[in-house]
A and B are shown apart, each in its own frame.
Chain A
Amino acid sequence: MSLLEIKNLYVEVDNHEILKGIDLRVNAGEMHSIMGPNGSGKSTLAQVLARRESYNVTRGEVSYDGKDLLAMKPEEAACEGIFMAFQYPVEIPGISNAYFLRSALNAIRRHRGLDEVDAMDFLPMFREKLKLLDMDEKLMNRSVNEDFSGGEKKRNEILQMAVLEPKLAILDETDSGLDIDALRIVAKGVNSMRSPERAIVVVTHYQRLLNYIVPDFVHVLVNGRIVRSGGPELALELEEKGYGSMEAGARQPAPA
């Protein structure tokens, strides 16, 4: 049984059909990359999997870890081990990064019947992950994402993933807006998370991230459909020929 199994998924937002029949299987231990032009529906797919409720599933099924994912609320999916790194991380003024992350960790631990982690025990593990991502300790006490640079926000998402240790991580455009050094650090963080129990889905529209993170499978999403799937070499082909080659009738990319 696959960790994630998407069958014939159709999704609408505000009465626009955005995903038009997605099929995808992801097994534990695998790294998948979903590539596609702006506006093709990548974020929509990621958010539906994270159970954002403003997206309306009109057809299809998604099973996750043997359960009906579409019946879960966002916090249930999160507690069951789904993590999404946001393309646009959200600011929470007045709440420190450390407090927020510990609250999230404890919510997930409670769900799993584990003891809560107190501030004293949390600190060392938080420090270790900060180091992995080459992040300043000061970020612990700053409000969540407030006045963070674009790159800091993206790194902060990966930091959260590292602390929360999900079973299925979906990274939405975590590479966009990063300079080359930050990109390397983020890639290091993501690679350190690879494990036989965990699946990672990396959503991107650039090939350059895939120089540092080598996926097992690449899927090309154009206009709400997966038009091709293959190995890492598919990313290189895309780089060479562009998305236009993938489907003759593909829509022109809309501004994201």
Chain B
Amino acid sequence: MNSNLNTIRDLADREYKWGFVTDIEEERVPKGLNEETIRLISAKKKEPEFMLQWRLKAYHHWASLEKAEAEPKWANIKYGPINYQEITYYSAPKRKPSLQNLEELDPEILRTYEKLGIPLEEQKLFAGVAVDAVFDSVSVATTFKDKLAELGVVFCSFSEAVQKHPELVQKYLGSVVPYTDNFFASLNAAVFTDGSFVYVPKGVRCPLELSTYFRINAAETGQFERTLIVADEGSYVSYLEGCTAPIRDQNQLHAAVVELVALDNAQIKYSTVQNWYPGDKEGKGGIYNFVTKRGKCLGVNSKISWTQVETGSAITWKYPSCILQGDNSVGEFYSVALTNNYQQADTGTKMIHIGKNTRSTVVSKGLSAGHGQNTYRGLVKILKGATGARNYTQCDSLLIGDRCGAHTFPYIEVRNSTARMEHEASTSKIGEDQLFYLRQRGLKPEDAVSMIVNGFCKRVFRELPMEFAVEAQKLLSVSLEGSVG
């Protein structure tokens, strides 16, 4: 076998650099899930009655689904049974973080974020990025709060929002992803413990990138966070999320829900760099990432844009979608999904065109290496009233090596004859000729692969805020890094 192929295979030998465990005291509720667990979580969070009732309804719905068929079976992924009674649904650092003051935060947690490259001290942060840090089940710190408060922007943990802005929470919670939406969304609605909440008032252009950094630390816990972002009329916000987890042999479940609401003329840009622990080279361990993300362009001329770089997790199951309800609203989905070793990803988007002259763009770049299996699944639906709707979809797959797979399932439903649809798709392999060309110019094989991959993903990286585009590029290189013989 020639060594280009070897090189490509060696790329499977990457290491996960965020896999350490932080030693802190935790408070947990007992393993397992029943009505009592829900009541306990809700009580711990001192929630108003409407929250408890909503959670209970979600729980009963979920329990009926669990009885019937458990997880949905249509995705192109394989995994053993998940025992929902073996999971801990609430785990929080014992030392109660004060939401006012970083000094009261457990120094171990501060160090953890430091180590992850996310310092929480405001003076060390990227200028222009406010961070909410979620550690296991709870939000531990939110930075730049005062600066945001001056503008009326609410950026806080979900728990805090429930206490301080119950009317907003009650109005929008479940309005985009109802608790009946799907198995994992029901589970999340029942047990979610924290997450981020953003409200941008009328006419405000949020001057900071808002960012949440999710960290799973505790063993045998699930992480179920919920994010709700509401952009009021004429406002703009850019939001970023990042995630990592320690290396563990056991699979851990992450089932998050994100809901976005854009009112008239509002814009939300939501970017994700997902780097949960992917499992080891043999496919042992890793996060099961079952996530429901959806945005509703409720108002006219509103816009929601999803950008995701998915490099981690043993299993990724997520379809950030847009409901284009307001006339002239715009939905975008830009995605890079990488699967290496034994990772599996089934990801894509749904663009539901309801309003007139709604437009959507879908750009998906799937990268498969090692034994990775990468599936794009997309739905573009043009409803009867969506006169003049347009969609452009581009869906490319790149195979690195000869043991991985790429699959695409594009679905199109058009009920209005004025719709214009464009679809482009390609599957290619990193060719021996491309590698040889770059190596003949002096580049090492791993640098050559990284260059080809970054070129392939460029259209998506362009959509990320600058610092994060650089991070994403590095992350891809690291995710493909290996010893080269």
Contacts and interface: CB of A to CB of B under 8 A. Distances in A.
Contact of A53 (B2, B458, B459): B2
A93 B441 contact: no
Interface string A69-101: 000011101110001101001111111000011
Contacts of A108: 442
A143 B434 CA distance: 13
Given A90-B437, A93-B455, A104-B441, A73 B432 contact: no
Interface in B437-453: 437-445, 447, 451-452
Interface size class of A (residues with CB under 8 A): 20 to 34
A83 B437 CA distance: 11
A50 interface: yes
Given A53-B3, A74-B436, A103-B447, A94 B455 contact: yes
A112 to B, nearest CB: 10
Given A103-B447, A107-B447, A50 B440 contact: yes
A54 B432 contact: yes
Q: Which of B432, B441, B452 has the most CB of A within 10 A?
A: B441
Contacts of A4: none
B455 A95 contact: yes
A164 interface: yes
A92 B444 contact: no
Nearest to B4: A53
Nearest to B438: A92
Contact of A75 (B442, B452, B457): B442
Contacts of A75: 439-440, 442-445
Nearest to B6: A53
Given A54-B432, A90-B434, A103-B447, A143 B455 contact: yes
Q: Which 9 A-B pairs have the closest CB atoms?
A: A94-B455, A94-B458, A104-B441, A107-B442, A74-B439, A95-B455, A90-B437, A78-B442, A53-B2
Interface of B: 2-4, 431-434, 436-445, 447, 451-452, 454-459
24 contacts: A52-B436, A53-B2, A53-B3, A75-B444, A78-B442, A79-B442, A83-B440, A86-B440, A89-B437, A90-B433, A90-B434, A90-B436, A91-B434, A92-B437, A92-B438, A92-B451, A94-B457, A94-B459, A95-B452, A95-B455, A100-B438, A107-B444, A108-B442, A143-B455
Interface of A: 50-54, 73-75, 77-79, 83-84, 86, 89-95, 100-101, 103-105, 107-108, 111, 143, 160, 164
